[in-house]
Amino acid sequence: MNEDIARDSTPSAPLEPWVFGNRPLPQTVALTRSLRRLAATSLSLEEGEARVARLIEELSAAEQELAQRAPADPSPRIGPDARPAQRVYLDHGSDIGAFNPCFPEYAIRVAGERATGTVTFPLVFEGPPGCVHGGFLAVFFDCAIQHHNCELGVAGKTTSLNMEYHRPTPLLTALNFEIARSADSRRITSTAHIERDGKVLCRARMEAVAGDRSRLPFVSPRRDRP
């Protein structure tokens, strides 16, 4: 993992995926999907519900109970000064939406410098009526493009992300996306778009640093319970 991963555009042997952090717990993934669906359902309710009131009480009790099991320090447990009291850091290079309901979920297929996939935005990402908020589209592109970079073994911090909005992007609709990228020893440039029925809805152009794995800080693994 301490190899220098900076590369130029000359074809070379594939690098192993870029991973920085721990995998989420399967329980966390299941909870995230449930919370996202529940939030979408609650947004559609016409009036207050007794079941929601009970749920709020249950969730509050669960949060207080689980807080006793969580690390006292919310900062990530990385680097040479990592302490047991800090929290575990999860890998954010791919599938963030699988473990964090604030990010969109998507499916991606990587084929070298190009990637394709599908995404369906749920109700919780609504902006204009029936449409995805433009800010969530930017979040999606940042996630999916960096996922592509990490799969190819060359990733780094985003330095710019430019968006173009051509048509409203509908909610609750299966949409296709495509990513193309080029990389040299210093920088990664990616272009991407989302389309529906062959019509482009929005485009993104993102630049990122071509990072060096040897400079990544140590990420502390999950700790055994006492």
In this structure, what CATH number is given to the domain that contains residue 142?
Answer: 3.10.129.10
Give a yes or no: residue 3 inside a domain.
no
pLDDT for 214: 84
What pLDDT, in 10s, does the model give residues 5-33? 233 333 445 688 999 999 999 999 999 99
Residue 173, domain extent: 26-215
Give a yes or no: residue 18 inside a domain.
no
pLDDT for 11: 40
| Sign of the C-alpha dihedral computed for residues 87, 93, 99 and 100 taken in this order | positive
Q: How many domains does the chain have?
A: 1
What pLDDT, in 10s, does the model give residues 35-72? 999 999 999 999 999 999 999 999 999 999 999 999 99
Give a yes or no: residue 13 inside a domain.
no
3-state secondary structure of 37: helix
Instruction: Return the ∠ at Cα 83 (arms to 81 and 84), rounded to 5°.
Output: 160
C-alpha torsion 86→92→95→100, nearest 10: 40
Instruction: Return the ∠ at Cα 67 (arms to 64 and 216), rounded to 5°.
Output: 155
Between 221 and 2, whose confidence is greater?
Answer: 221
Is pTM beyond 0.85? Reply is yes
Give a yes or no: residue 225 inside a domain.
no
Give a yes or no: residue 20 inside a domain.
no
Give a yes or no: residue 4 inside a domain.
no
